[in-house]
Structure 1
Amino acid sequence: MVDDRCRAPGQPLQAACAMEYMSCLRYLKPSVYKDGDLILGGFFPFYISEIQSVHKGSFLIRPIQEVVNNWFTWKNYQYVLAFYFAIEEINKSPHLLPNITLGYVFYDAFPSDRRTLENALFLLSGGNHLLPNYNCQTYKQPVAIIAGNMPTFSAQVGTLLELYKSPQVISFLIQVTYGLFDPILSDKDQFPSVYQMATKDSSLTHGIICLLLHFGWTWVALYVSDDMQGEQFLQDVKAKMIEKGICVAFTEKLPPTKGVFFPRDLILRTRIRVSSANIPYFFHGSLLFSNQKRKIPGFKQFLRTVNPSQYPEDFYFSKLWAHFFLCALAGSLCGKIGDCPPNSSLEFLQSYLDIMTVSDSSYFIYHAVHVVAQVLYKILLQKIEMRSPGDTDQLILPWQLHPFLRKSQLTNSIEYNMILDENRNMIQYDIHNLVRFSNNSWLLVKVGDFVYRNTHDHDLVIHEEVVNWPVKFKETPKSVCSQSCVPGFQKIPQEGRPVCCFICVSCPESDISNQTDAKQCTQCPAQEYSNIERTHCLPKRVTFLAFEDALGTTISCMALCFFVLTAVVLGVFVKHRDTPIVKANNQALSFILLISLLPCFLCSLLFIGHPNTATCVFQQLTFGLVFTVAVSTILAKTITVILAFKARKPGRTMRCLLVSRVSNSIISICSLIQMIICGIWLGTSPPFVDIDSHSESRNIIIVCNKGSVTAFYCVLGYLGFLALGSFTVAFLARNLPDAFNEAKFLTFSMLVFCSVWVTFVPVYHSTKGKFMVAVEVFSILASSAGLLGCIFAPKCYIILLRPDKNSWKVLKNRRGFK
C-alpha cells in the first residue's frame, strides 16, 4: 500500500519515510477544532493504562514502585466517528437547526487525573497554554460538552466546569455523559449541569439475581470496584439477594478503575464465581451481561466510506490511517508516506478492533448529539417567537439548555425516545460466555438473553448446553452452603450463620411442603391428611361407628343378646310371679327394673350407625332416663328391704309406710328430676351432628356432639349420685336377717355399676374418634349387665335349678316360724 519510494516489495520502510512515519505518529495537539455557528465539545479516551509493579531499591525502604504505561487504543476512535456522523446528519437535515451549522472541538481524555484536568483547562482557556480564569481562544466556546466514558472522569470534569462562572468564561457549561450510569452524577445539587445518557442499571441487578436463581447459586462471592459506583452496586445487589435468599460468602473490593479507560462493551461488568476454595479466580468461563448491540441507521455505510481527507483538521484520523495502512491520503498530515489505494477503508482493519460494530458508548454519543441539537432547535424556536422586529440575535448560552434537558421528551431521527431522568430502564441484555482458546485468543459466545420490562415482569433464557465452564468443572457448578431441602422437609436456620446455611427437618404429621427449600411446612386442610412423604394432602375417609364394622357388629350382637336374656328373665319372673322368691322384696319393683333394663340394652344401638339429629338427641336422653329409672328402682328395692325388716318390730309407722308403698314413689321423683335436667339440656344446647377431623389423621369421623358438656355431666353426675345413694343404703342393709334378703346382691350390683362409670370418665377422655363412642356403649352394656347379673342371676338359679328352696315352707323356716 506504500509506493516504491518508501518501500520495495517485501522490504521494510526506507529510512526517510520511516522517520516521517514516526514523526506523524508522534504529532500531538491538545484539541481538534472545526468552526461552526454553534460548537459542541467532546472528551474521548484514546489511551488505556497498564500498571506494572517494579521492585526498586531496598525492600525495607521502598519495596515496590508502580510504573504506568499508556497504550493507544484505536477501537475508541469509533466514538469520534459517531460524533462526526451525528453532526453531519444534523447539518444536512433541513428540519433540524436549519441555516445553522454545528462545529466541534474535542480533546483526548487521558487516563490520569492530571492530564484530564489539563485538557479541560485547555478547553476553558483556549490555545495551547493553560491560563486559568482567562479565555484567550479565538474560536467559539462550546454550548455543551459530550464527555465521560468513565464516571470518575465525568465527576472530575463536571466539578471543574461548575467552578468557572466568571465573565471570562460562559457560565454553566452543559455536560452530557455517554459512559456507565453513575448514581452520584444524578445528584443535581452536586452536578447540576451533568446529564447522563446511560440508563440506571436496576434491570442489571434483577438480571444477576435471576441468573443466580437459575443455576441455584445461593452462596456466592462478590467482586466490586472500590469506588462509589461499586459501593452503590454492592448495596443494590445485596438488598436484592436478601429478598431472594441468596447469601454472600465474602466481598472483595478491587482497585478502582479511575483513569483507566476501556470500551464499554468490553468491560466485564458482571463476573460470577462459585465459592470453591480450590478454584482460582480467572476469566475463562465467566458470564457477562451486556446491552444488546445498538444500531445507528447509516453508520456502517459511513464507516466504510469515511477517510482522513474529509477531516483534515483531525490528526488522530491521519495517525490511525498511517498506523494501519502505512499510507496517507492527499492533504493529510502524513501525506508524504505514500499514496493509498482507492479501496482502502476502515472495513478492512484487523478483526480485533471490531470498529464496524457499534459500541454502547458510540451509540450514546450519537444520541447525545441529537439530544443537544433538538434542545437547541427548541430554544431557537422560542427565541424567534419572543424576539422583537429587527432583532436578529440568536446567541445561545449554555445555561439556557437546562430547562429543556430536564423536562423535555426528546426524539431523534430514528424514533429513539428518551427522557433525561433517573427512571429510564434498558429492557434487554445479551448474556455472553467468555471463552479462552489454546492459542490464548478470547471469544465472547452468546449463551442467553435477559429481558426486563419492570420489577415484576422479566424473562431469563440460558442455553446451558453451549456454556463453557472453567476447566475444573465437568458440569454446571454448584454453589450452596447447605444442600437443598427436598419436598417434605422444611429449612431450619442455623443460629449464628447466614440464612443459606440451614438444616432440613421433616414436616410434622398433617403438614406438607411440595417445593424445594420450603421455609416452612403448610398444614393440610381439616378434610385432608398428609401422605407418608409429606409432599401431598390426600382426602380423608369419612367414617363412623357403623354396624358393618367389626366393633359395631360386636356391640350390636352383645346388646341384642343381653336384651334377649333380659326378656327371658322377665318371662321367667312373670311365669313364677306367685313364688316366694319373686314376691319377696316387692314383686312390682323387680318387674320395673327388668323392663327398664330392656331399653338400657337397646339404647346402645342408637350410638351405632350414621349419626343424625334424631339419634344424637335420643341416644343421650334415652341413656339418661332409662338408667335413672333402673337405679332409682334399685334404691326403692333397697328401701323396701329396710322397711320390711323394720315392720316386724312393734309399732304401726313402718307398717303404714310399707303398706302405702311409699318406696315406689321414689322412682317417679328421681325420674322427674332427671327429666327436668334433660329438658334444660335440650332447651339450651342440645346434641347435634358434628365432624371430628382431628382425632384420626386419615379419617373424618361423624360424631354426635353433646352440645352442652356441662348438661351431659350433670345427667351423668345425677345418675352417679343415685347410684352412690343406692349403694350406701344397700350396704347398710346387707346383713339384715330376712328371708330372701337381696340387699347383699343390690350392694354388689351397685358396686359394679359405680366401678364401671368411675372407670368410664378417664377412659372416655383418653380415646379419640369412634372409640369414644365404643367406650360409652361398652359402659352402658357393662353396667346394665352388672345389674342384671348381680340381682337376677341368683334368683333365676333358685327358680330354675333349685325349686325346692322356692317354697313358703322354706320361707317360714328361714323366718323362724314353726
Structure 2
Amino acid sequence: MFAIEEINKDSSLLPNISLGFHLYNSYHSDERTLESSLQWLSGQGQFTPNYSCREKEKSMAVIGGTTSALSVQMGTLLDLYKFPQISFGPFDSILNDKIQFPFLYQMAPKDSSLQQGVVCLMVYFKWNWVGLIASDDMRGEKFLSEIRRQMAKNDVCVSFTEKIPVSERRYMESHDKFMPRIITSSAKVIVIHGDTDSLMILRYSQVPLLPIEKVWIATSHWDISMRPLYSEGNSFHGALTFSYLTSEIPGFKTFLKVVTPSKYPDDILLRGFWLSAFRCPDAPENPEQEICSPNASLDILPLCSFDMAMSGLSYTIYNTVYAVAWALHEMLMRKSEKKSMVDEDDLALHSWQLHSFLKNIQFNNSAGDQVFVDENRSSEAQYAIMNYVFFPNETDALVKVGQFVSKAPLGQDFTICEDAIVWGWWDSTVPRGVCSNSCDPGFRKTPLEGQPVCCFDCFPCPEGEISSHMDAEHCMKCPEDTYPNKQRDHCVPKPVTFLNVKEPLGMTLMCMAVSFSLLTALVLGVFVKFQDTPIVKANNRTLSYTLLISLIFCFLCSLLFIGRPTTATCLLQQTVFGVVFTVAISSIMAKTIIVVLAFRVIRPGSRIRMFVHPTASIYVVLICSGIQVTFCGIWLGTSPPFPEADTHSEYGHIILRCNEGSVFAFYSVLGYMALLALGSFTVAFLARNLPDAFNETKFITFSMLVFCSVWITFLPTYQSSKGKAMVTVEIFSILASSAGLLCCIFIPKCYVILLKPDRNTQEQIKNK
C-alpha cells in the first residue's frame, strides 16, 4: 500500500497511470494457495479455469510467495499463462532454475553466507554443542549441509537435527511432540532455519509459564512465529536473530502512524487485525459499525503485536512493487514510441510482454540502495544480529547487538556487542553451549567412544608431561633441564644437585675421611717409632708401612667423590680408588703368604725359602698393583669417565655425577679387586690356626671378612641407588672397608705396643 501510494504520487513514474492491487491470503496452505491463484485468474466470485470475469481491470504481475513452497504452488498455474511472478520470500537457489521456473523472479538478496555468520557467532561465544532445526525441504537440506560443513571446519558439533514438516497435515500431527524433544535435549544452543510457514510450529509448541533454558538463533525473517503466543512468559526471550541489514525507507513510519481502518474501509484484513490487536470487546459483525479505538495508532502497539520498523520481507516487497512499476514504465515508453507506426490493438498491455523489461530492470530506491531483478546480479545479503527481549511488564523489544557483512575485510565482517545482549531468564552470563566442560591446563582431552569430538573426558597429564592451555588434546614433555610443576601446567627449571661439601652429609663424610686418614697416619707413626720391636718387625715391616700408607690414600680418595664433578675428578675417582685399594689388598695378600710360608718351610735348603725373602713380598705387591694399573690405563685410554648431568634418575632434579664411561672396565677393576680380596681371605682363613704369636692370620681373616662383606653389600645397593645416594654408598663402602682393614689388623698391634709392652719382647715370643 505504501509503495503504490508513493508511485501514484510520483509524476515522473507512470505519469497519468494509477496502480492498484488485489490482496489474497494464502492461509499457509497448499490447497488455499491454489484456490486463491485460480480466483485471481478468474476474477471475483466463483472461479472458472481459462476464463476471466474482469473487463476493465488489467493485472500485469503477481507479487507473492513468502515461502518457496508457496511460490512453487502459484507457479504451477501462473506459468501456464506466462504471468510474471515475483517472490519476496527468502532466496532459494532451486527457484533460480529458469528451465523449471521461467517466469519466476526472486527479489530477496542471496543468503549463501548466512551459515558462515551463524558459525561465527558460535565460535565467538565458544559454543560447540548445537542443535539444528530446519524445514523438511530442499532449502532446509541445503542449509543443514552447508552449516554442518562450516561447523566441522570450526570444531563445532551437531547435538541433534530436527526437521519441520512442510505439509499442513503432518504439521498438525507433529507439533505436540516437537518442542518436548528439543527441551529434553542436552544442547543449550538451538539454530532455527525456516520460513514463516514452517516456523509456525514453534509458535504453537510454546509452553506457557515454563521458561526454557535454551539460546535460540533464528536465521529466518523476524515475524509472528517467534513472538509469544501467551501473555504469561515467552520461550524465545533472549533469542538472537539474523535479519536483513536494510536501509530505512523515508516516510514509512509516518505512513504507518496514520493507518486506520476508517482510512482504508475496503481492507478487511486491516479491520480484522485492528480488532484483534486492540482487543476490541464484542467486535461488531456489521462492517459499517464503528470499531473500538478509531483514533488509535499502530505505533502504540507492543512489538509482539506490530513492528513499526520495516522488516526484511517488507523491504523486499517495497522494492518488488517499484520493480514492477519501472518495468511497466519502460514498456509503456517503448509502446508510446511505436504508437504512430502500429495499430491500436498492438498497443494493448499484456502480462507476458512484461518479462523482457522486468528481467533487465535496475534502479535506486528512495533509501539510495541499488536494486536488481536479475538474480544473477543480486547482492549478497548483509545481516543485523538482533536480540529479542521480553520484559516482565509484557512488553518486548528487538535490540541490534551486532552485524555480519561477508564482503567486509577479515576481522570487520563479524561484530558483536556482548554487553548489550540480554540472555534468558535463568542467568545474565553467557550460556555454556558445550557437550563437555573445558579441560583446565594440566589435563588433556580424551574422546568418548562413539561420541562426537566435542564430547570428551579430562585426564591429568602423565608424569613428566604438561599442558599449558585449555582443552589441550596432547600433553608435551618438558625439556630435560626442566620438570612439570605440581599442577602440570608449566615447566620449572630443575635444581642442580650433587654431593656438596657444604651440606651436612658431604661435611660428615669428609670429616670421617680426614679423621680416619689422620688415625691411620698416627698408627703409621707408632709403627715407625716402635719399628725395632718384635711385633712391628714380625710379618714384614715394609708391608705394614705400605699397607698403612695405602690405607691413608684409601681414606683420602673418598674426597674425590665429594663436590661438583669435573673432568679431572672423574678421571681420578675410580682409577685412584682402584689402584690404592689394589695396593692395600696386595699388601695383605703378601703378608698372608709370608705367614703361611714361614710355617710351612721346614727343611733347610728348600726352594720355597726364597719366597720368604722380604723382597719377594714387594714383588707380589708390585705385580698385583701393576696389573690393576694396566686395567686402569686401558680404561682411561678407551672410554674414560666423564662428568654428566643426569636429568632422569631423580624426578625434578639434575644430578651432576661422573659417568663411568665403560661399565665393563669399571666392573673389571672391581672384579679384580674382589678376586685379590677373595684370595687373601681364603689363604688367611686356611692358615687361621697357625701358631703365630700375634694372631696375624686371624686378624687378616677378620679384616678380609669385613672387607668382602662391605663390598658384597655394595654391589646391589649401588645398582639400586640414584643420584647422590650412589656416590654416598661408594664413599661409605670405601670408608667402611678401609676402616675394617685398619681396625682388624693394626688396632690390636697398637694395643700391645702402647698398652702391653711386656708382651712385645723377644722372650715373650719365644715362650709362645
TM-score by length of 1: 0.64
Work out whether residues 263 and 361 of structure 1, in 8 Å CA contact, stay in contact via their aligned partners in 2.
no
Distance 2:314 2:712 in 1: 95
Work out whether residues 544 and 703 of structure 1, in 8 Å CA contact, stay in contact via their aligned partners in 2.
yes
Structure 2 counterpart of 1:358, one-letter code: M
345, 353, 361: which one pairs with 2:313? 361
Shift of 1:758: 1.9
Distance 1:412 1:646 in 2: 135
Count of residues in Structure 1 that have an aligned counterpart in Structure 2:
678
708, 711, 721: which one pairs with 1:757? 711
Alignment of 1:644-659 (within 5 A): 644-650=598-604, 652-659=606-613
2:274 equivalent to 1:274: no
Quick one: structure 1 residues 685 and 444, their matched pair in 2 at CA, closer, same or farther if it must change by over 3 Å? farther
2:62 equivalent to 1:111: no
Shift of 1:564: 0.4
SS where residue 610 of structure 1 aligns?
coil
Work out whether residues 488 and 512 of structure 1, in 8 Å CA contact, stay in contact via their aligned partners in 2.
yes
Q: Which moved more, 1:795-804 or 1:728-737?
A: 728-737
Structure 1 counterpart of 2:399, one-letter code: K
Distance 2:765 2:709 in 1: 34
Quick one: structure 1 residues 800 and 183, their matched pair in 2 at CA, closer, same or farther if it must change by over 3 Å? farther
Partner of 2:390: 434
Work out whether residues 224 and 252 of structure 1, in 8 Å CA contact, stay in contact via their aligned partners in 2.
yes
Structure 2 counterpart of 1:443, one-letter code: D
Work out whether residues 153 and 258 of structure 1, in 8 Å CA contact, stay in contact via their aligned partners in 2.
no
2:679 equivalent to 1:725: yes
Structure 1 counterpart of 2:555, one-letter code: F
Shift of 1:590: 1.9
Shift of 1:555: 0.6
Partner of 1:620: 574
Distance 2:356 2:601 in 1: 131
Partner of 1:202: 115
Shift of 1:798: 2.0
Quick one: structure 1 residues 693 and 111, their matched pair in 2 at CA, closer, same or farther if it must change by over 3 Å? same
Partner of 2:240: 289
2:622 equivalent to 1:629: no
Partner of 1:178: 89
Distance 1:474 1:302 in 2: 33
Distance 2:98 2:475 in 1: 50
Alignment of 1:560-571 (within 5 A): 560-571=514-525
Provide structure 1 residue ranges, at least 5 long, that are not aligned to the other structure: 1-79, 326-335, 339-343, 378-394
Structure 1 counterpart of 2:762, one-letter code: W
Deviation digits for residues 571-599 of structure 1, max 9, x if unmatched?
A: 12222223332233332222222211222
Distance 1:231 1:767 in 2: 68
Work out whether residues 319 and 371 of structure 2, in 8 Å CA contact, stay in contact via their aligned partners in 1.
no
662, 668, 674: which one pairs with 1:708? 662
2:591 equivalent to 1:610: no
Structure 2 counterpart of 1:290, one-letter code: T
Shift of 1:723: 2.3
Quick one: structure 1 residues 112 and 275, their matched pair in 2 at CA, closer, same or farther if it must change by over 3 Å? closer
Quick one: structure 1 residues 397 and 489, their matched pair in 2 at CA, closer, same or farther if it must change by over 3 Å? same
Provide structure 2 residue ranges, at least 5 long, that are not aligned to the other structure: 172-194, 216-229, 276-286, 290-294, 330-351
Distance 1:140 1:466 in 2: 48
SS where residue 287 of structure 1 aligns?
coil
Work out whether residues 431 and 449 of structure 1, in 8 Å CA contact, stay in contact via their aligned partners in 2.
no
Partner of 1:586: 540
SS where residue 578 of structure 1 aligns?
coil
2:590 equivalent to 1:642: no
667, 672, 675: which one pairs with 2:626? 672
Distance 1:355 1:497 in 2: 44
Distance 1:523 1:812 in 2: 77
Quick one: structure 1 residues 397 and 733, their matched pair in 2 at CA, closer, same or farther if it must change by over 3 Å? farther
Structure 1 counterpart of 2:119, one-letter code: H
Distance 2:487 2:48 in 1: 80
Quick one: structure 1 residues 732 and 691, their matched pair in 2 at CA, closer, same or farther if it must change by over 3 Å? same
Shift of 1:464: 8.0
Work out whether residues 506 and 562 of structure 2, in 8 Å CA contact, stay in contact via their aligned partners in 1.
yes
Structure 1 counterpart of 2:251, one-letter code: K
Structure 2 counterpart of 1:721, one-letter code: L
Deviation digits for residues 757-812 of structure 1, max 9, x if unmatched?
A: 22122222333322222122111111111121122222222222222222333333
Quick one: structure 1 residues 84 and 465, their matched pair in 2 at CA, closer, same or farther if it must change by over 3 Å? closer
Partner of 2:399: 446
2:61 equivalent to 1:150: no
Quick one: structure 1 residues 736 and 417, their matched pair in 2 at CA, closer, same or farther if it must change by over 3 Å? farther
Partner of 2:642: 688
Shift of 1:149: 2.6
Quick one: structure 1 residues 635 and 187, their matched pair in 2 at CA, closer, same or farther if it must change by over 3 Å? farther
Alignment of 1:9-20 (within 5 A): none
Work out whether residues 247 and 500 of structure 1, in 8 Å CA contact, stay in contact via their aligned partners in 2.
no
Q: Which moved more, 1:194-203 or 1:760-769?
A: 194-203
Shift of 1:615: 2.0
Shift of 1:513: 6.1
Shift of 1:654: 0.9
Quick one: structure 1 residues 785 and 111, their matched pair in 2 at CA, closer, same or farther if it must change by over 3 Å? same
Partner of 1:600: 554
Quick one: structure 1 residues 541 and 109, their matched pair in 2 at CA, closer, same or farther if it must change by over 3 Å? same
Alignment of 1:799-810 (within 5 A): 799-810=753-764
Distance 1:644 1:430 in 2: 114
Alignment of 1:299-310 (within 5 A): 299-300=250-251, 304=255
Deviation digits for residues 443-491 of structure 1, max 9, x if unmatched?
A: 1353844668779985654338955615xx7998888888877766667
Quick one: structure 1 residues 202 and 800, their matched pair in 2 at CA, closer, same or farther if it must change by over 3 Å? same
SS where residue 567 of structure 1 aligns?
helix
Quick one: structure 1 residues 751 and 348, their matched pair in 2 at CA, closer, same or farther if it must change by over 3 Å? closer
TM-score by length of 2: 0.68
Greater strand proportion: 1
Shift of 1:316: 8.0
Work out whether residues 510 and 523 of structure 1, in 8 Å CA contact, stay in contact via their aligned partners in 2.
yes
Distance 2:319 2:618 in 1: 114
SS where residue 429 of structure 1 aligns?
strand
SS where residue 251 of structure 2 aligns?
helix
Distance 1:106 1:219 in 2: 44
Question: What's the % identity of the aligned pairs?
Answer: 43
Alignment of 1:404-483 (within 5 A): 414=368, 426=382, 428-437=384-393, 441-444=394-397, 446=399, 448-449=401-402, 460-463=416-419, 467=423, 469=425
Shift of 1:303: 6.1
SS where residue 66 of structure 2 aligns?
coil
Work out whether residues 696 and 768 of structure 1, in 8 Å CA contact, stay in contact via their aligned partners in 2.
yes
* Pairwise CA RMSD: 6.0
Quick one: structure 1 residues 474 and 555, their matched pair in 2 at CA, closer, same or farther if it must change by over 3 Å? same
